[in-house]
Structure 1
């Protein structure tokens, strides 16, 4: 699925992470100042970047499998230890909510983009 540039796909994944952080901070009333958002987001952003690098996601950024699933998995598995190292908690309930939200959004945008991309290619052909 080449119709989605890697930059747009990375931006979409980053947006998923940032929406998760902002919604969580707003829901728990822990402050939405940019520094507060950044302090909560950095483990997820770092793990997302790692996920993109280890999966070579730029080769097929819009694919659900394996790209989306593996980037999502690395983001979750990588972010939790970073949260713990930074003094934040990672109780099971948080890990589950994080996993479900990021799966729905990171895989969801790919699921929506896939048929749109195919339709666009069919019109061009």
Structure 2
């Protein structure tokens, strides 16, 4: 089995092999924030007919919260902040959608922060 392939049981009905893929850097750099990386991962899922309910079941997420994680607006009509995908569910989410978009975004963000720190410490 390829290192990025995993066997997963989908609702106990059948076993499927899903391969997580890396998305093009050009798509990752377009992500303005964590929410947009989550939405990109969902938009580029390898099972286009997968529903938010299926995603919730596979990732052990509360189904009504999934629509909040995937909503384009970070604030609802009452001004309350929408929920973000919990960090401890990133791996399960990426496994279900079949790509590494969130990890790619966070890695890129971390590298930029690290480079900024290196540049700052080298200034006279």
Q: TM-score range by the shorter chain?
A: 0.3 to 0.5
The structure with the larger Rg is: 2
Compare the two structures and name the one with the higher helix fraction.
1
TM-score (norm 1): 0.36
TM-score (norm 2): 0.36
